[in-house]
């Protein structure tokens, strides 16, 4: 497709950035040359520009596959605010709304069209995409296509079909997290015509990683937050814990809020905004927090527990220090964390009988007949579902994930879709309707005044706000809008608070439900390996940065010089001065000849023995001390 502008001009014109970041330009060049490209950039590295700029350099539009509805919406808003035409299609939208966006896209109304992956397969999508002038296919979070990765989503495999539909269109896959295997697998699954990986090093030179063995985690957390001024994120494991820890910090006079996926969308928004604006200093959260958040001055990220993969840890910890200033990523660890992770992993891979039971319940819940349901979506309230069918939440959730991975259903992310409306009637028709209908008159007046763009396109609205202005209750507003829709005045999609479940295959009887056992075991085994690697990270005293980089396929990095290991802090977090003076004395003791462990200890006061033993263990780990064949210790020359 014809190139109509230069990338740098586009970047300056629409984004106001003076120059590309390292690698962005190479990626864009590669794409514009028509090559399939896999780009690995760390979080915050500026991935979106890599497909948005080439989309604007050419005629036609770029289709972006992205897994998270909330992120998609942010991106669309962000683009629109820069004067770039963009739209998104995701589950939860009405068929009508989807139809309109597709129609507009075929007519060349957008430069970027975001699609959630489970929307790819529908006939409507296939028919419409064929009519579009597509200049690029971008796949965000591309690791989701790999069963080897930590966030496999089967709907991503359908991207391959899309490629067949658009044989001449280059593909740009983007991810911030992929081990070597996953890098290979992504290119294979996305049908790369030729292998082509552009990778930016994942080194974070200003981020100091530490792992501290701590039984009293909350006290230690206080200590850290008192010593490191500035904004912080604290990751915890559960919603309840998020609240408790935030309260604990507040009780200790630290400004803290909490965040998790169980809060209402308004609540989440308010809390996130308060933290972004610096009104709340510390946000205590589950892993639901952070995607798409771009706050450069986070000084410290503390994990109260070890996450179940280094992918997750690296991404979460990596939210610190985006501005390039010194920042800290600290993991508070006890061996009990390892037990907990191993235990949870078993629960995450439930027995087949349990999966069948959940599937059966799902059939009753949705009241779908056997053989029906393909492509249909339903509001889904997990707690309600579990209560109704007397199921335990955690294994049920695991069973649903498994059903998703096996391609039976798809789960939308839990984020709510706000209500939207589009006033389609001409002014005359509208006026006439308002005269005939008193209540509608009030609501429509508020609607038109509060949302000036609502004549032109779908606009997010809030029934509660309208109700407030119109001095009526929200249910009445909803009713009025529904009536107006029936009269053809507007298109109205009420808010859907609940996450959705989509049947990606028609319903079958529980006996006919099948699961690919080999794949199941394969994924379980990979998950076990990831957990073991995470534990190994916490328990191995080697430069943290080097461990992480090696995991992500950079085996030859330099010691970072700033992690707990490099700076010689040990398990009990000895102050550097004490550690260094002990190390010096141990070296002195061993200057003339190798000595057994006990004899080294004897050179120190009894009360120091424990610490000395720790320092020796550390020096052994680091290879600074060695053992001879009789187990005597000597200093490495």
Looking at the Cβ atoms of 47 and 204, the one nearer to ligand ADP is 47
Say what the alpha-carbon torsion angle 266, 271, 277, 282 is, to the nearest 10 degrees.
-170
> 517: which strand partners?
none
Looking at the Cβ atoms of 17 and 325, the one nearer to ligand ADP is 17
Question: What is the closest distance, in whole angstroms, from the C-beta atom of residue 41 to ligand ADP in the complex?
Answer: 5
Q: Would you count residue 44 as binding ligand ADP (CB under 6 A)?
A: yes
Question: What is the closest distance, in whole angstroms, from the C-beta atom of residue 177 to ligand ADP in the complex?
Answer: 11
Question: What is the closest distance, in whole angstroms, from the C-beta atom of residue 18 to ligand ADP in the complex?
Answer: 7
Q: Would you count residue 41 as binding ligand ADP (CB under 6 A)?
A: yes
Q: Would you count residue 13 as binding ligand ADP (CB under 6 A)?
A: no
Question: What is the closest distance, in whole angstroms, from the C-beta atom of residue 195 to ligand ADP in the complex?
Answer: 22
Q: Would you count residue 6 as binding ligand ADP (CB under 6 A)?
A: no
> CA angle at residue 251 from 250 to 255, to 5 degrees?
20
Positive or negative CA dihedral for 537, 540, 546, 547?
A: negative
Selected range binding ligand ADP among 40-48, 112-120, 208-216, 442-450, rule: CB under 6 A: 40-48
Question: What is the closest distance, in whole angstroms, from the C-beta atom of residue 39 to ligand ADP in the complex?
Answer: 9
Looking at the Cβ atoms of 63 and 600, the one nearer to ligand ADP is 63
Residue nearest to ligand ADP (CB): 46
- How far is the C-alpha of 443 from the C-alpha of 613, rounded, in Å? 75
Q: Name the nearest CA neighbour of 62 among 113, 28, 98.
A: 113
Query: Per-residue b/e over 225-237, b at no fewer than 16 CB within 10 Å?
Result: beebebbbbbbbb
Binding mask 125-164 for ligand ADP (x = CB under 6 A): ----------------------------------------
* 624 phi-psi bin (left φ>0, alpha ψ -120 to 50, beta other): alpha
The three-state secondary structure class of 199 is: strand
Q: Would you count residue 584 as binding ligand ADP (CB under 6 A)?
A: no
3-class DSSP string for 226-239:
HHCCCEEEEECCCH
The three-state secondary structure class of 62 is: strand
Q: Would you count residue 627 as binding ligand ADP (CB under 6 A)?
A: no
Contact 500, 377 (CB under 8 A): yes
Binders of ligand ADP among 237-296, rule CB under 6 A?
Answer: 294
Question: What is the closest distance, in whole angstroms, from the C-beta atom of residue 425 to ligand ADP in the complex?
Answer: 38
Selected range binding ligand ADP among 19-27, 131-139, 149-157, 531-539, rule: CB under 6 A: 19-27
Q: Would you count residue 320 as binding ligand ADP (CB under 6 A)?
A: no
Q: Would you count residue 20 as binding ligand ADP (CB under 6 A)?
A: yes
Residues in binding contact with ligand ADP, number by CB under 6 A = 13
Looking at the Cβ atoms of 77 and 509, the one nearer to ligand ADP is 77
Residue 433, both tokens: 């309707």
Q: Name the nearest CA neighbour of 411 among 124, 140, 68, 52.
A: 68
Q: Would you count residue 330 as binding ligand ADP (CB under 6 A)?
A: no
Residue 213, both tokens: 């063995």
Sheet architecture: strand order including 282-285? 207-213, 327-333, 298-303, 231-235, 282-285, 256-259
Single residue of 1, 8, 46, 99 touching ligand ADP by CB under 6 A: 46
Selected range binding ligand ADP among 45-53, 200-208, 231-239, 524-532, rule: CB under 6 A: 45-53
**Residue tagged 């028609």 (tokens):** 506
Element (H, E) at 342: helix 335-348
Contact 199, 45 (CB under 8 A): no
Selected range binding ligand ADP among 46-54, 358-366, 498-506, 551-559, rule: CB under 6 A: 46-54
Question: What is the closest distance, in whole angstroms, from the C-beta atom of residue 142 to ligand ADP in the complex?
Answer: 12
Question: What is the closest distance, in whole angstroms, from the C-beta atom of residue 242 to ligand ADP in the complex?
Answer: 23
In DSSP notation, 569-629 reads --TT---HHHHHHHHHHHHHHTSSS-B-HHHHHHTS-GGGHHHHHHHHHHHHHTTSEEE-T
Residue 535, both tokens: 């534990």
Looking at the Cβ atoms of 24 and 116, the one nearer to ligand ADP is 24
Q: Would you count residue 17 as binding ligand ADP (CB under 6 A)?
A: yes
Selected range binding ligand ADP among 36-44, 217-225, 232-240, 486-494, rule: CB under 6 A: 36-44
Contact 547, 540 (CB under 8 A): yes
Q: Would you count residue 74 as binding ligand ADP (CB under 6 A)?
A: no
The three-state secondary structure class of 222 is: helix
Question: What is the closest distance, in whole angstroms, from the C-beta atom of residue 190 to ligand ADP in the complex?
Answer: 19
Single residue of 7, 23, 24, 333 touching ligand ADP by CB under 6 A: 24
Task: Using only the alpha carbons of the chain, give its radius of gyration.
Answer: 28
Q: Which residues bind ligand ADP (CB under 6 A)?
A: 17, 20-21, 24, 41, 43-49, 294
């Amino acid at each position: 497709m014809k190139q109509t502008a230069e990338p740098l001009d586009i970047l300056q014109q629409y984004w106001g950035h003076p120059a590309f970041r390292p690698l962005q330009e190479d990626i864009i060049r590669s794409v514009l040359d028509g090559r399939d490209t896999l780009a690995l950039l760390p979080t915050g590295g500026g991935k979106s520009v890599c497909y948005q700029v080439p989309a604007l350099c050419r005629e036609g539009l770029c289709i972006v596959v992205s897994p998270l509805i909330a992120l998609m919406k942010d991106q669309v808003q962000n683009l629109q605010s820069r004067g770039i035409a963009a739209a998104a299609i995701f589950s939860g939208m009405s068929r009508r709304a989807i139809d309109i966006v597709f129609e507009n896209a075929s007519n060349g109304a957008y430069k970027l069209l975001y699609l959630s992956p489970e929307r790819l397969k529908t006939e409507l999508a296939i028919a419409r995409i064929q009519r579009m002038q597509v200049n690029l296919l971008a796949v965000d979070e591309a690791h989701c296509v790999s069963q080897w990765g930590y966030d496999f989503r089967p709907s991503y495999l359908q991207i391959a079909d899309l490629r067949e539909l658009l044989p001449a269109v280059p593909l740009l896959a983007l991810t911030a997290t992929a081990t070597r295997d996953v890098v290979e697998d992504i290119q294979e699954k996305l049908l790369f015509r030729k292998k082509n990986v552009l990778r930016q090093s994942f080194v974070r030179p200003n981020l100091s990683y530490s792992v501290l063995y701590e039984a009293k985690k909350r006290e230690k957390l206080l200590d850290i937050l008192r010593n490191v001024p500035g904004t912080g994120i604290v990751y915890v494991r559960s919603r309840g814990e998020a609240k408790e820890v935030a309260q604990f910090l507040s009780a200790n006079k630290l400004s803290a809020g909490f965040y998790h996926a169980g809060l209402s969308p308004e609540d989440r928004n308010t809390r996130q905004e308060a933290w972004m604006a610096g009104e709340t200093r510390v946000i205590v959260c589950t892993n639901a927090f952070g995607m798409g958040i771009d706050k450069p001055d986070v000084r410290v990220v503390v994990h109260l527990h070890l996450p179940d993969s280094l992918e997750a840890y690296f991404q979460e910890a990596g939210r610190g220090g985006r501005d390039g200033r010194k920042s800290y990523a600290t993991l508070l660890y006890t061996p009990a964390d390892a037990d907990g992770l191993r235990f949870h992993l078993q629960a995450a891979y439930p027995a087949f009988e349990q999966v069948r039971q959940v599937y059966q319940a799902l059939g009753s819940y949705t009241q779908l007949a056997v053989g029906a349901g393909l492509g249909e979506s339903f509001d889904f309230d997990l707690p309600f579902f579990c209560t109704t069918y007397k199921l335990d939440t955690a294994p049920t959730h695991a069973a649903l994930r498994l059903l998703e991975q096996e391609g039976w259903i798809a789960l939308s992310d839990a984020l709510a879709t706000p209500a939207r409306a589009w006033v389609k009637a001409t002014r005359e028709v509208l006026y006439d309707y308002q005269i005939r209908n008193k209540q509608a008159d009030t609501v429509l007046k508020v609607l038109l005044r509060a949302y000036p763009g609502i004549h032109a396109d779908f606009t997010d609205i809030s029934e509660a706000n309208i109700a407030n202005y119109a001095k009526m209750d929200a249910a009445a507003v909803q009713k009025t809008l529904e009536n107006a829709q029936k009269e053809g005045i507007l298109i109205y999609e009420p808010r859907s608070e609940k996450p959705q479940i989509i049947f990606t295959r028609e319903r079958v009887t529980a006996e006919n439900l099948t699961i690919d056992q080999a794949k199941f075991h394969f994924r379980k085994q990979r998950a076990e390996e990831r957990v073991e690697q995470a534990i190994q990270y916490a328990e191995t005293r080697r430069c943290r940065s080097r461990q992480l980089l090696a995991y992500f396929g950079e085996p030859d990095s330099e010691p970072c010089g700033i992690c707990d290991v490099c700076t010689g802090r040990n398990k009990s977090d000895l102050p550097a001065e004490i550690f260094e003076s002990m190390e010096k004395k141990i070296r002195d003791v061993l200057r003339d000849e190798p000595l057994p462990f006990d004899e080294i200890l004897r050179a120190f006061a009894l009360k120091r023995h424990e610490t000395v033993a720790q320092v020796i263990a550390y020096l052994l780990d680091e290879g600074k001390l060695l053992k001879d064949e009789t187990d005597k210790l000597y200093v490495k020359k």
